[in-house]
Chains A and B, each alone.
Chain A
Amino acid sequence: MGIKVALAGNPNAGKTTLFNKLTGARQHVGNYPGVTVEKKEGNCSFNGSDLNITDLPGTYSLTAYTDEEVVARDFLADTRPRVINIADASNLERHLYLTVQLMEMGMPVIIALNMIDVANQRGISINHELLSERLGVPVVPTVARSGKGHKELLAETIRGLDNVPPRPIELSYGEDIDSALDEMTQIIEENSFLADFCNSRWTALKFLENDAHMISKGYEHDKTTTEALKKIVGRVEKHLLSTLNTSPEALIADHRYGYIKSVLLEDVLSYKVDNDRLFLSDKIDKVLTNRFLGPIIMLAILFGLYQFTFTYSELPVAWFENFFGWLGATASAVLPDGYLKSMVVSGIIDGVGGVMGFVPLIMFMFFGISILEDSGYLARVAYMLDRVLRVFGLHGSSVMAYIVSGGIAGGCAVPGVMATRTLRSRNEKLATLLTAPFMNCGAKMPVLALLIAAFFTESQSTLMFVFTLIAWCGALLIAKLFRMTVIRGESTPFVMELPPYRMPTFRGLLIHTWERTAQYIKKAGTVILAISILIWAIMTFPELPDSQVQSFEAQRSAVMVNYDQATIDMAALEDIQEESLSEAALQLKNDLTVINAKEAQTALKNSLAGRMGTALESVSQYAGFDWRTNIALVGGFAAKEVIVSALGTAYSLGEVDAEESSSLSETLSESPEWNKAVALALIIFTMFYAPCFVTVVCIVREAGSWKWGLFSMVFNTIFAYVLAVAVYQVALTLI
């Protein structure tokens, strides 16, 4: 099994870099049960010992206010690992706040005094031997990036394994708290209250800190003792409020910092230069967060990220498409006609191809986002945009998910939803990932282009811009609505560190990118394959009754009798240039195409999707949609561009390529059921209705429950329907 080791530390302490260095590629990324916090594990061997390392989520504290903290704390209490505590040497005072809490829990702590080189450059010198002596734990100076000090760190980690675990540190938090702690500790020990979780003084401390997680654990375990403890806490709270106008929480924090100050005083920490001077990072900030330049540069950088993701991934996306196109063609040539062929080609290969088609996009986006995140710029984006997005109950970082999803028209909601992973606050993250799919992604563009080309030829580019604006307004307003109703709750505090700018390491970027892409392929792949087969099935079954198939067969025979065998053979050839066909063969081929398209239309109408479309007409007529549009929209759940091809089939045009839809746009503009009002309503509906199922699967993953995936399907469709009906009815009166 190996020696259990946990890495703990503040965000930006260099924890992940150290983890990657120690474990290399031997890591496993999963989730802690019930929450969306990532659990990273890896192995490493040193001097013949095997170490099983868990990278805990970065936290500043071990309270119970965030999932990350609860997860880290539960892991420590349950597995009692040796803890490598990574502390930033140039920020030692604050980083030791977590160390003190680890020691209060009685964990065997080894401090990695990280980025000691940066600290030295900044004129900070630290006497780590004295620090180690005063804290009573090993302290090893390290540079996680270069690997300096790693051997010593591992050696300290495995040293003294057989010793008794250290006694928890007992700080004094002032007379009032100390005496309450003594009293509570006695009660806890007498009742062996939560004895298997952590030491009794720590449990008492958590009660005094008003730790909701511990208190509810207490209620489950032993109600009487919990209430006895709460009574003491209430008494102390009241006393402190009346005498010192403060709370136990505040006093405990003050004393922890007081202890840290006394440890660092005299000879441990000294500054050769003024600690307050401007470093390079601050100089960069003077420009990048400048009142006027800052927002302009930020827009340019976000636009650059967008360009990077969608331009550079074009080529690999095309490779994937060509490969799956070739695979589909090969399969159709090899397999005999029938259900199997249809399912393999249209269901499995198209489905898997669809999933894999997103892979280059996701890789490029995460590579770009990792650069922004690792360099420290992402925190500045949040800082600059917070004031605007807070109005809608969102977070400064939400803007990235929106832009990637199609905030600049043509993005994709799949990587967009995954980009919300950078948001640490749950409510804001949920609101962002539920509304990001409203943006005009690349798959909605062909639909918009088709309808605009058919009905609004005069003002195409203006309209595209207007629809982009409508998407933003829709997303922000619905986010606000969600934050006032289903995701109600105080906005998460913005108390956040602006980390110094750092050059990202290439290795780190590659590891991040690969991790996230692999997760997408693994988790989303299986579900998506199943759903794409399902969608294929509802658009195929039930098949036309034999009588109808025979009637189309008869029509074809009726046409063919007029031609000789050579012409028939020539017309049956695929992949042949029209010019090289004889006139008769061309005529025959066209006639047959019309009949085949008619058959495809009848078959689609007869399928389950077609029947759904027809049945929905009674509802959808208020938005101006007939059964053909309904079928297309049902198909659009597979991928929004399917709307175009399904409309093509429903209008018996045979196969319509989403990129080349001029024949369809002519048909629509001449069709009596269509007018500007219908077109507008359909555009609005397409923008806002249920996200494609790949996006839904990603929403489920990021939100941590199927409930939110289902919610987004149902809510978005109802919302889109109401909007579309309103648009249609108003437009009708204006036209």
Chain B
Amino acid sequence: MMNISLRQMKLDQAGTITAVKVGGYLGQRIREMGLIPGTKVRVHGRAPLKDPVALRVMGFTLTLRNNEADHIEVEVSG
């Protein structure tokens, strides 16, 4: 198990969020979509230019930009 930033996750890799290190509007948007510590996420796809990234969270698909994913820490296996 190790902690990486969400940006570094590979396609189809799954993990569990450990921290969301941003406040304000962006932090609010991230949290209200359910991206909080303990939530499981999986990288569902990336846009043709590799940014934004599409995540699978609690049964729905969510997009966010790479520089927004930087604020989210994820625990992945191996």
Contact = CB atoms under 8 A, between A and B. Distances in A.
Contacts of B10: none
B20 A493 contact: no
Nearest to A261: B38
Nearest to A492: B25
Interface string A474-499: 00000000000000001011111110
A85 interface: no
A2 B47 CA distance: 48
Interface in A225-270: 247, 249-250, 253-254, 257
Interface in A377-403: 379, 383-384, 386-388, 390
A285 interface: yes
A94 B58 CA distance: 8
A83 to B, nearest CB: 18
B23 A247 contact: yes
A289 B45 contact: yes
A93 B63 contact: no
Nearest to A91: B60
Counting chain A residues whose Cβ lies within 8 A of the other chain, the interface size class is 35 or more
Contacts of B36: 250, 253-254, 257
Nearest to A59: B32
A295 B23 contact: no
B34 A383 contact: no
A386 B47 contact: yes
A254 B30 CA distance: 12
A202 interface: no
Interface residues of B, number: 36
A94 B61 CA distance: 12
B49 to A, nearest CB: 4
B26 interface: yes
B51 A386 contact: yes
A291 interface: yes
A249 B26 contact: no
A63 interface: yes
A252 to B, nearest CB: 9
Given A289-B45, A494-B65, A257 B34 contact: yes
| Most central of B23, B27, B31 by chain A CB within 10 Å | B31
A295 B49 CA distance: 10
B59 to A, nearest CB: 5
B48 interface: yes
A63 B25 CA distance: 9
Contacts of A379: 63
Contacts of A532: none
Contact of A93 (B47, B58, B62): B58
B7 interface: no
Interface in B35-57: 36-37, 39, 42, 44-45, 47-52, 54, 56-57
B34 A94 contact: yes
A540 interface: no
Interface of B: 20, 23, 25-34, 36-37, 39, 42, 44-45, 47-52, 54, 56-65, 68
13 contacts: A91-B59, A97-B32, A97-B34, A253-B31, A253-B32, A253-B36, A289-B47, A295-B48, A383-B54, A384-B49, A493-B25, A494-B52, A498-B54
Interface of A: 60-61, 63, 65, 90-91, 93-94, 97, 122, 124, 210, 247, 249-250, 253-254, 257, 275-276, 282, 285, 289-292, 294-295, 379, 383-384, 386-388, 390, 490, 492-498, 500
Smallest CB-CB A-B distances: 5 pairs: A253-B31, A387-B49, A495-B29, A498-B61, A61-B32
Given A65-B25, A388-B49, 15 more contacts: A91-B59, A93-B58, A247-B23, A249-B27, A249-B28, A250-B20, A254-B36, A276-B56, A383-B47, A383-B54, A490-B25, A494-B65, A495-B62, A495-B63, A498-B63
